[in-house]
């Protein structure tokens, strides 16, 4: 089985390519950078370059490489960037996913794994976010801005292709993925990378900001479980896949101090108005449905994930 990984040069995409080995073929608008090449040494040799909304290029790749399944990780990410350039987010995240689904449908592909996000949620109905919690409000926009809105739309598109075109779409709502090669700071990146480099970290605000930090290898194992799930399974198509434990940025700082000797971190105890709005929909994700449907559960604690992240940074520093 050949699996096309969109966004293969990115953070999660490179790890998925590494896990797939010879089964994977990548697709991305850019060649892999240094960190992606360290994660997946064979990536550059198994990568097709093209834009995610380029229907003709996608069709070429599906045909040339006899694609059997797709893992869709490509897309633009982030609340603030989405507010600065909404149209790019809709063009890339929404129309890009439409083109991927169309290419898969025309090529006779049966399985598409969409990497979605907890940003699709508006708010938790209880202490934990469950898949049936609201993703739409008739009163206010998504707390994660246009980014969260595009993830909500992607899921709806996938469900429509599943219902009317026989495309077996599984959407995984992941959250706050961290590890070597990550690009979004999310507080944890400067904390770990500065500590390993022997630099102090000073962050003016954000201490109370909550996230369900999930180690990248847990996300990869969820993707692999979704790829290998039987076609005749029972259960929902949209599933949470996270560590299942929300923690504040201040608490992350404390874990980093405990794991990495000499870590010097200070973070303010206030939230900006934008952080406060986004923090409103932050809660632990309930992963019981993924365990039931896919047989998957997270296995990396935050302390263990940070230790592995730090070790990979040290190894990369010595990598030629």
pLDDT tens, residue by residue, 7-39? 999 999 999 999 999 999 999 999 999 999 999
For 3-182+212-245+283-299, CATH gives: 3.40.50.720
C-alpha to C-alpha distance for 241 and 72, rounded to whole angstroms: 15
Give percent of the chain above pLDDT 90: 90
Distances (CA, A) of 172 to 12, 18, 158, 237: 13, 19, 11, 8
Structure tokens at 43: 């990536």
pLDDT tens, residue by residue, 223-235? 999 999 999 999 9
The answer on pLDDT for 72 being more than 80 is yes
Per-residue pLDDT at 283: 85
C-alpha to C-alpha distance for 8 and 254, rounded to whole angstroms: 33
pLDDT tens, residue by residue, 155-200? 999 999 999 999 999 999 999 999 999 999 999 999 999 999 999 9
**Backbone φ and ψ of 82, nearest 5°:** -70, -30
Per-residue pLDDT at 271: 86
Contact 6, 52 (CB under 8 A): yes
Per-residue pLDDT at 273: 78
Q: If pLDDT is split at 50, 70 and 90, which confidence band does 256 have?
A: very high
pLDDT tens, residue by residue, 257-314? 999 999 999 999 998 877 776 676 678 999 999 999 999 999 999 999 999 999 999 9
**Average of pLDDT values for 144-163?**
97
In terms of Cα–Cα distance, which of 153, 32, 178 is closest to 98? 153
The answer on pLDDT for 241 being more than 90 is yes
pLDDT tens, residue by residue, 126-142? 889 999 999 999 999 98
Per-residue pLDDT at 320: 55
pTM above 0.85, yes or no: yes
Q: Which residue has the tokens 């982030």?
A: 78
Measured in whole angstroms, the distance separating CA 157 from the mean position of its chain's CA atoms is 18
């Amino acid at each position: 089985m050949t699996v096309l990984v969109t966004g293969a040069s990115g953070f999660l995409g490179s790890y998925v390519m590494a896990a797939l080995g010879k089964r994977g073929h990548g697709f991305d608008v850019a060649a892999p950078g240094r960190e992606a090449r360290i994660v997946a040494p064979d990536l550059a040799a198994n990568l097709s370059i093209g834009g995610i909304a380029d229907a003709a290029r996608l069709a070429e790749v599906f045909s040339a490489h006899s694609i059997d399944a797709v893992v869709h990780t490509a897309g633009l990410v982030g609340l603030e960037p989405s507010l600065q350039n909404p149209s790019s987010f809709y063009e890339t995240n929404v129309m890009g996913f439409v083109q991927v689904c169309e290419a898969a449908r025309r090529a006779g592909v049966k399985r598409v794994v969409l990497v979605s996000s907890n940003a699709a949620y508006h708010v938790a109905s209880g202490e934990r976010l469950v898949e049936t919690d609201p993703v739409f409000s008739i009163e206010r926009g998504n707390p994660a801005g246009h980014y969260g809105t595009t993830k909500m739309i992607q899921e709806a598109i996938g469900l429509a292709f599943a219902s009317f075109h026989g495309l077996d779409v599984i959407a995984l709502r992941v959250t706050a993925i961290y590890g070597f090669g990550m690009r979004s700071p999310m507080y944890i990146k400067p904390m770990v990378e500065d500590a390993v480099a022997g630099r102090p970290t000073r962050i003016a605000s954000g201490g109370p900001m909550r996230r369900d930090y999930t180690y990248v290898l847990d996300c990869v194992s969820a993707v692999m479980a979704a790829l290998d799930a039987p076609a005749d399974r029972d259960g929902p198509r949209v599933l949470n896949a996270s560590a299942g434990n929300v923690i504040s940025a201040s608490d992350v700082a404390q874990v980093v101090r405990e794991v990495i000797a000499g870590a010097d971190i200070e973070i303010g105890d206030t939230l900006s108005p934008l952080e406060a709005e986004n923090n409103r929909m932050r809660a632990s994700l309930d992963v019981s449905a993924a365990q039931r449907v896919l047989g998957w559960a997270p296995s990396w604690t935050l302390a263990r994930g940070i230790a592995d992240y730090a070790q990979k940074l040290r190894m990369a520093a010595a990598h030629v």
